[in-house]
Amino acid sequence: MAIRKSTEEKTTLDSDVTKPSVTAPGDGPADTTDPTEHASSVPARPGDEALAVGTVNTVVPVPAPEPAGEVEDPRIETYEAVKPDGSTVTVERNIETGETKVK
């Protein structure tokens, strides 16, 4: 993966897929220190320099996915569970949000 390295020791993705793959020590393919950066693999299109070195960047930055919106009619699962004391409770779990309630 080709990277750009700044003086603050940040690793970010590089969109140039014709250059050699360069990683900082300890970094691997698609590594980035930017939590807002997302990667996607692409077909290799090595230029002469990448062919000479033997590595090529095949991971490029892509826009972040759109956050999921509110679900009008969420999927809810309901089931009975036995507590350690032997009593039975009803568990209700919203599959969309992961919110769980014990009744």
Tokens of 83: 């507590």
* Residue 56 falls inside a structural domain: yes
Give pLDDT tens digits for 15-63.
777 877 666 666 666 677 777 888 888 888 888 888 887 777 778 888 8
Q: Is the entire prediction scored with pTM above 0.85?
A: no
Looking at the fold, whether 103 and 57 belong to one and the same domain comes out as no
Q: What angle do CA 3, 5, 11 make, to 5 degrees?
A: 65
Give pLDDT tens digits for 25-38.
666 666 777 778 88
* Residue 98 falls inside a structural domain: yes
Q: What angle do CA 68, 80, 82 make, to 5 degrees?
A: 120
Secondary structure (3-state) at 50: helix
Number of domains making up the chain: 2
Q: Give the residue numbers spanning the domain of 45.
A: 1-63
Please report the DSSP string for 80-95 in residue order: EEE-TTS-EEEEEEET
